[in-house]
Amino acid sequence: MKINTKVRYGLRAMIEIAEKDNLTGILQKEIAEKQDIPLNYLDSIISGLRGAGLIINAGGKGSGYFIAKAPENISVYDIYRAFEADLTLVQCSCDANECLRSDYCPTKDYWFMLNKTIKDTMKATTLYQLLENKK
Amino acid sequence: MKINTKVRYGLRAMIEIAEKDNLTGILQKEIAEKQDIPLNYLDSIISGLRGAGLIINAGGKGSGYFIAKAPENISVYDIYRAFEADLTLVQCSCDANECLRSDYCPTKDYWFMLNKTIKDTMKATTLYQLLENKK
DNA sequence: TTGCATTCGACTAATTCAATAGAATTACTT
DNA sequence: AAGTAATTCTATTGAATTAGTCGAATGCAA
C-alpha cells in the first residue's frame, strides 16, 4: 500500500500550477525546478494531468500551463485518477465472477467498505483546501 | 494501491481458524482446501500469523492451529501487520528528513491524514465482527 | 521407522515502478 | 524562413516487488 510517485508528483505539480496567477501560465521547466521533479519524468505527469482535463496548455510553446477548473472543483481523487484506474483494493470486491466464494465471503464486504472509505476520503479534499492549508 | 495476497489470504485463514471449535485445531491442509489457497504458499502465511502471535500450534504434528486471542481482540490491522510494515502511504510523511520541503509542503499533511484514516479503519474492525457478519 | 505435518530458505517468473533517452512536433522569435 | 525552446510521444532500462514454487530439513506419533 503505497501512493506512487506519479500521483504524488502530480499533486505537487497541480499545486504549483494552481498557485500561479492566472495571467501567465507556468512552464514545465519551472514546475520541475520548484518541485524537484526530473524534467523528463515530469512530462509524463503533465501528460496525465492534461489527459484528465485538469490542466490546459493555452497556446503553443512558451505559453505554459493553466489549471482547467477552479481548485475547489478538483479533488485529490481526480488527480489520483489521472494516473490510476478506479481504486480497487482487491479484485473480488468489484467483480463477483472473480471468486467463487463471493456470495458468502465475509472479507469481501470488508475490503469493499475499506475501499469506499479511502476513495471517499480522497474525494472529500480539494486542491483549494490544500492551497489554503499552505498559507 | 492494492492489498497483497498475503494479507488477503491471511485474513481468510484467520477466519477459518477462528471458526473452528476450540476443541480441536485446524490443519494447514484443511485451511488450504477450504479457502483455495496453495498449500505451499499457505505455509508462509501461517508462518506470518504465528510470528505475529495471532495463532498457535498447540502440540506437534496432528494438533493443528488455534487462534491465540479472542476474535474481538484481533483487528484487521493486526493481521495486516503480520505481513507488512507499519502503513506508510508516502515516505516523507513519517520521516521529515526524507524531504527538504517537508516544512512547508501542503501535501505532506494530507497524505498523513489519509494514512491515519486508513489505519484507523483497519484497526476499528475486529475478526469478531467479520465472523458475525458471516452468519 | 515410516509417514504425515510443519518449517525453512532458496529460487523464479512475471509484473510493476521510476526514470531516462531520443526523436518528432509545435509554434514563437527574429 | 530558420533557429530555437518547449512540448509531446514512444521505447527502453534497471531495480524492486509479488506471487508462488520447490526441495530439503525437522518434528512428532503411531
A99 pLDDT band, cuts 50/70/90, is confident
Interface touch A110/B130, C-beta < 8 Å: yes
The pTM for the full model equals 0.93
Instruction: Inform me whether the pLDDT recorded for A104 exceeds 90.
Output: no
Closest Cβ opposite residue B134 in set A15, A104, A130? A104
Interface touch A15/B122, C-beta < 8 Å: no
Does a structural domain hold residue A36?
Answer: yes
Segments forming the whole domain that contains residue B62? 5-85+126-134
Predicted pLDDT of residue B133:
83
Interface touch B118/A84, C-beta < 8 Å: no
Measured distance CA(B99)–CA(A34) in Å, rounded: 13
Instruction: Inform me whether the pLDDT recorded for B18 exceeds 80.
Output: yes
Measured distance CA(A66)–CA(B99) in Å, rounded: 27
Measured distance CA(B32)–CA(B38) in Å, rounded: 6
Does a structural domain hold residue A30?
Answer: yes
- The CATH number assigned to the domain holding A16 equals 1.10.10.10
Interface touch A121/B114, C-beta < 8 Å: yes
Does a structural domain hold residue B66?
Answer: yes
- Mean pLDDT, residues A38-50: 96
Does a structural domain hold residue A59?
Answer: yes
- Which of A3-12, A84-93, A98-107 has the least mean pLDDT? A98-107
* Nearest nt by C1' to B5 Cα: D19
List CB contacts (< 8 A) between A125 and chain B.
Answer: 110
Does a structural domain hold residue B62?
Answer: yes
Predicted pLDDT of residue B6:
97
Per-residue pLDDT tens digits for B65-118: 999 999 999 999 999 999 999 999 998 766 656 676 777 788 999 999 999 999
B100: CB partners within 8 A, 6+ apart: A36
* Nearest nt by C1' to B25 Cα: C5
**Number of folded domains that form chain B:** 1
Does a structural domain hold residue B44?
Answer: yes
List CB contacts (< 8 A) between A122 and chain B.
Answer: 114
B59 pLDDT band, cuts 50/70/90, is low
Predicted pLDDT of residue B60:
64
Percent of chain A with pLDDT over 90: 76
Measured distance CA(A88)–CA(A90) in Å, rounded: 5
- The CA-based diameter of chain B, rounded to the nearest angstrom, is 59
Please identify residues in chain B, positions 11-70, with a C-beta within 7 angstroms of any atom of strand C. 25, 27-29, 40, 43-44, 46-47, 50, 57, 61-65
Instruction: Among all protein residues, pick the one whose CA is nearest to the C1' atom of D17.
Output: B4
Instruction: Inform me whether the pLDDT recorded for A80 exceeds 70.
Output: yes
Tell me the torsion sign for CA atoms A93, A99, A101, A107.
Answer: negative
CA dihedral angle for residue B108, residue B83, residue B78, residue B37, rounded to 10 degrees? 130
Residue B27's Cβ-count burial label (10 Å; 0-12, 13-18, 19+) is middle
B63 pLDDT band, cuts 50/70/90, is confident
DSSP tag of A85: P
Predicted pLDDT of residue B111:
95
* Nearest nt by C1' to A30 Cα: D6
A83 pLDDT band, cuts 50/70/90, is very high
Per-residue pLDDT tens digits for B27-46: 999 999 999 999 999 999 99
Protein side of the strand D interface (CB < 7 A): A 25, 27-29, 40, 43-44, 46-47, 50, 57, 61-65; B 2, 4-6, 9, 38, 40-41, 43-44, 59-62
Instruction: Inform me whether the pLDDT recorded for A63 exceeds 90.
Output: no
Q: Across-strand partners of A67? A: A55
**Among the listed residues A118, A101, A4, the one whose alpha carbon sits nearest the alpha carbon of residue B8:** A101
Interface touch B133/A109, C-beta < 8 Å: yes
Q: Is pLDDT larger for residue B92 or for residue A123?
A: A123
- The CA-based diameter of chain A, rounded to the nearest angstrom, is 59
Does a structural domain hold residue A26?
Answer: yes
Predicted pLDDT of residue A135:
65
Instruction: Inform me whether the pLDDT recorded for A49 exceeds 90.
Output: yes
Cell of B66: 488455534
Half-sphere exposure of A16 (CA within 13 A, CB side): 23
Predicted pLDDT of residue B95:
64
Predicted pLDDT of residue B134:
73
Predicted pLDDT of residue A45:
97
Any long-range contacts for B34-38 (C-beta under 8 Å, 24+ apart)? B35/B9, B36/A100, B36/A101, B37/B9, B37/B12, B37/B13
Predicted pLDDT of residue A62:
76
Cell of B96: 521529515
